[in-house]
Chains A and B, each alone.
Chain A
Amino acid sequence: MIGTHQPDSLGRFGAFGGRFVPETVMAALDELQAAVNEALADPAFHAERDALARDFIGRPTPLYYAERLSEAVGGAQIWLKREDLNHTGAHKINNAVGQALIARRLGKRRIVAETGAGQHGVAAATVCARFGLDAVVYMGLEDTRRQRPNVVRMHMLGAELVPVTAGAGTLKDAMNEAIRDWIASVETTHYMIGSAAGPHPYPLLVRELQAVIGDEARAQLLDRAGRLPDAVLACVGGGSNAIGMFHAFRDDDVRLIGVEAGGDGAQLHAATLGGGRVSILHGSRSYVLADGEGQVLETHSISAGLDYPGVGPEHAHLKETGRAEYVPETDEAALVAFHRLCRLEGIIPALESAHALARAERVAASLPPAAIVLVCLSGRGDKDVDAIADREAVR
């Protein structure tokens, strides 16, 4: 059931969100919204989702106290919400399973999706295999190179993968093509967006489907530590793992910290909330990395999943209201945190999640040992090991 912190009737969170899309898909957004409202009010929908969460995804995911990492950092306790242990290796599957159930309610048997790191593409391909749907996944050419293991997985799962050569060949370009496909195919096709972005009702839908992360983590921490965390951190690409993690803590006295891709630490980055301006991208009003004339800028991040010039509208609202903070971590800092987690905890994190870890270490270092820092470990790093090995062998 949809609870508090609802967008208004036009799908706006404060000044952000809405629907900025060609007329051709407006009717489909109305239909989707009706289907989402019905599904969220239907106990049968929740029962099926819960069963799939348990038996197919592997939920609840563990909450893990990273004791050796905490000790090495020398401050607060660092706890990890292990979304990396989900089936397919990231939080993306939470959203994909829910949207597959919605697509079925809509009677749509063809799915289009975009992917950056390939984790959403793999999740979409996975649920399409599981539900007998056709999957077409758009992925930037550059991303097909740097996340090659996920390309192979999508093929094995039976998805059609379409490499996108436009622009820099990254997530933004893949999303353009997925939306263009959908504009042409909207009557038979569901657009399975991978993040908490896009036109209303997608940001709300994805939040509701990812809120399980924070709901579980909050209950687990209360159970295990007997208290709420002092700070909650998550990386922010489009913002789905972050909003899923933050949502449960919105009304608690807890710092919410979103970590964006700081890239090279200077000009080349993907820190949209940190360095962007209010504009329109991919169907909603939010912060965008754009120039003064409205043209979208090229971004850079070592992590394909964060290499995106937009961000979900609810994060823009959380920034504007001061409820959450958004900070950058560089490629280098993410790599250091990546290796530290590998060596100290025996966990290979996704490069996206490593950005959140990098900041979590800094925050933990500034707090006393009794404090608790909770981090969303959004995914595992299997997809990244080749790219990191190549990069480090070159040096």
Chain B
Amino acid sequence: MRLVTPALVVYLMADDGVADLAAAAVEAGATAIELGIPYSDPLADGPTIQRAGQRALDAGMTPSRALAVLAEIDRRVDVPLIPMTYGAIVEAYGVERFCADAAAAGAEGLIVADIPPEESAPLRDAAGGAGIDLIHLVAPTSREERLRAAAGLSRGFVYLVASMGTTGARERLDDRLAGLIGRTKAAAGATPVIAGFGISRPEHVRAVLAAGGDGVIVASAAIDALDEGGAEGFATFVRSLAGALA
């Protein structure tokens, strides 16, 4: 993946009109776009992303249409694109076909929130075959062996879960964040470590970078900014986080 670090990855839910937002995000300083493919029962997601996903499903979004949306974003921006979804969606589509179609649509990476390293072999093979990076996650609760397994198997970057719980904007990140970043960096070698879950303020971005992290993923807070302030509020919010990257 052509990930520029320090990275600001902005998550958007696949929905009609989202290509404009992706372009606005990149214009405002996003260095990669994560595109959520909605699933009916997203266990790792809190209220904001659940709502966004349900809106998309109600409007008729499907996995194939989401990949078409991804291709549309790919025509508009020149940053890495990373679809994010759940195992049930990828398997129903067909693991190999999904990876091939995602790659053809411009994906450079893939995040599947409920497929841990011990279950990810088929997905790793398919992603590798299609030339996209399968990203694994580490969490504040991950023990050393799990952390090493996830970091070792991750391609593109390691997704570091920065707060306990589901996705959602938070005032404070996990107290163990700095230590976790240090341990993950040590296990990941040259692979970048990007923190997400709860990131919602410039000081979060600075804290991640100060601890040695290579960037952040912002999801719920970006969607909240969009819901509250429209496209303009969204762009202002992304710019405020991008300002903290320097």
Contact = CB atoms under 8 A, between A and B. Distances in A.
A25 B165 CA distance: 9
Interface string A1-44: 00000000010000000111111111110100000000000000
B91 interface: yes
B218 interface: no
Contacts of A252: none
A111 to B, nearest CB: 18
A283 to B, nearest CB: 8
A270 to B, nearest CB: 15
Interface string B44-60: 10100010000001000
A296 interface: yes
B92 A187 contact: no
Interface string A166-180: 110000100010011
A275 to B, nearest CB: 16
A288 interface: yes
From B43, B88, B115, B164, name the one whose CB has the most chain A CB atoms within 10 angstroms. Answer: B43
A20 B146 contact: no
A183 B165 contact: yes
B161 interface: yes
Interface stretch (B6-14, B24-32, B73-81, B134-142): B134-142
B113 interface: yes
A10 B118 contact: yes
Contacts of B113: 22
A138 to B, nearest CB: 13
Given A10-B119, A18-B119, A19-B119, A293 B89 contact: yes
Contacts of B150: 23
Contacts of B86: 280, 294
B141 A294 contact: no
A139 interface: no
A149 to B, nearest CB: 29
B33 to A, nearest CB: 22
A114 to B, nearest CB: 12
Given A22-B43, A24-B164, A183-B43, A294 B93 contact: yes
From A18, A30, A293, name the one whose CB has the most chain B CB atoms within 10 angstroms. Answer: A293
A20 B141 contact: no
Given A187-B141, A290-B88, A294-B91, A24 B165 contact: yes
B41 to A, nearest CB: 5
A267 interface: no
A186 interface: yes
Interface in B118-147: 118-119, 136-143, 146
Nearest to B163: A184
A186 B141 contact: yes
Interface string B72-111: 0000000000000011111111000000000000000000
A388 B57 CA distance: 35
Interface residues of A, number: 36
A25 B141 contact: yes
Interface in B159-191: 161, 164-166
Contacts of B63: 293-294
A209 B115 CA distance: 28
Contacts of B157: none
Contact of B114 (A22, A187, A293): A22
A346 interface: no
Contacts of A292: 92
A279 interface: yes
Contacts of B44: 22, 183
B5 interface: no
B63 to A, nearest CB: 6
B240 interface: no
Nearest to A180: B166
B140 A24 contact: yes
A166 B146 CA distance: 33
A10 B121 CA distance: 13
From A21, A23, A26, A172, name the one whose CB has the most chain B CB atoms within 10 angstroms. Answer: A23
A30 B139 CA distance: 14
B234 interface: no
Nearest to A30: B143
B139 A19 contact: no
A16 B157 CA distance: 30
A296 B40 contact: yes
A185 B164 CA distance: 8
B39 interface: yes
B141 A24 contact: yes
B116 interface: yes
Contacts of A185: 164-165
A280 B87 contact: yes
B141 A295 contact: no
B40 A295 contact: yes
A69 interface: no
Contacts of B165: 24, 180, 183-185
A18 B114 CA distance: 11
13 contacts: A19-B118, A20-B115, A23-B142, A23-B161, A24-B140, A26-B142, A26-B146, A27-B146, A180-B43, A183-B43, A183-B164, A294-B89, A296-B41
Interface of A: 10, 18-28, 30, 166-167, 172, 176, 179-180, 183-187, 279-283, 288, 290, 292-296
Given A20-B87, A279-B91, 6 more contacts: A23-B141, A23-B161, A184-B164, A282-B41, A293-B62, A294-B91
Ranked nearest first, the 9 interchain pairs of A and B with the lowest CB-CB distance are A184-B165, A294-B92, A294-B88, A24-B139, A23-B137, A22-B44, A295-B40, A294-B89, A27-B141
